[in-house]
Amino acid sequence: MPWAIIIIVSLPLLILFASLRVMREYERGVVFFLGRFQKVKGPGLIIVVPVIQQMVRVDLRVRVLDVPTQDVISRDNVSVHVNAVIYYRVLDAQKAIIQVADFAAATSQLAQTTLRSVLGQHELDEMLAERDKLNADIQRILDEQTDAWGIKVANVELKHVDLDESMIRAIAKQAEAERVRRAKIIGAEGEHQAAAKLLEAARILSERPQAMQLRYLTTLLEIAGERSSTIVFPFPVDLAQVFVRGRGEGDKGS
């Protein structure tokens, strides 16, 4: 008889202790009553009646998803190996448990397919130079598709865009050719500017004979200052014409 009294008294206490649950600040409990959704509880101390109620814990903290390396064919038919990291969190615990069987696995698979789909629409140069734009596009698409699961995709970052060795050599050759092209253009622009300045200087000197003579004397001074055993003096064209005319008149007189 005493044992029966002890059992009767202790049984409600055991059921009460078994019903107690402590939910942390970042946790929520999705409670089902006889298989039907009842409510989301937490954080703090909650009571879940055994047998007739079941609870599923959901972590609301930000999760890090490392997307495995994906083989992507770019729009300009270049094969690249791309991987990424995705940051997401559960906003609605009810949807995350009821709407999808395993929201973590579903998000991972969706991230892989979205990564291949988005990057396949861009050329290789865009993948290498416009990562911020690609990250934003992938994040927006994932966020829209996972909204029905109660998940918020906070950020997407492309980690590595790896190329084959042959493609790396081709890009290096292309970069070298681009540098040569720019050097030739810069040289041609310099020649064009120098020719324009020389033409302007010739026009000014032709209008001012005194300036021409001053330039002539300046040139002689520069030649004299150089350490050279031979000095070449420019011979004026006007003086040569005088000699030519004098010689012609002498030939006629003879």
> What domains lie within the chain, and their CATH numbers?
2-59 (no CATH), 63-163 (3.30.479.30)
Q: pLDDT tens for residues 40-75?
A: 998 999 999 888 999 999 999 999 999 999 999 888
Over residues 11-16, the mean pLDDT reads: 74
Quick one: pLDDT at residue 79? 86
156-172 pLDDT, tens digit each: 999 888 887 766 677 77
pTM greater than 0.75 (yes/no):
no
pLDDT tens-digit series, residues 169-183: 777 777 778 888 888
Query: What is the Cα–Cα distance from 61 to 91, expressed in whole angstroms?
Result: 9
Task: Evaluate if residue 76 carries a pLDDT over 60.
Answer: yes
Q: What is the structure's pLDDT at 249? A: 53
Higher model confidence: residue 195 or residue 114?
A: 114
Distance CA 132, CA 158 (A): 9
| Predicted pLDDT at 125 | 84
Q: Band of the pLDDT at 141, cuts 50, 70, 90?
A: very high
Q: How confident is the model at residue 13 (pLDDT cuts 50, 70, 90)?
A: confident
**Predicted local distance difference test score (pLDDT) of residue 232:** 59
112 pLDDT above the threshold of 90: yes
Residue 246 or residue 14, greater confidence: 14
Structure confidence at residue 248 (pLDDT):
55
Q: So what's the pLDDT on residue 64?
A: 95
Lowest mean pLDDT among 39-48, 186-195, 216-225, 241-250: 241-250
Given a cut of 90, is residue 98 above it in pLDDT?
A: yes
- pLDDT for res 5: 72
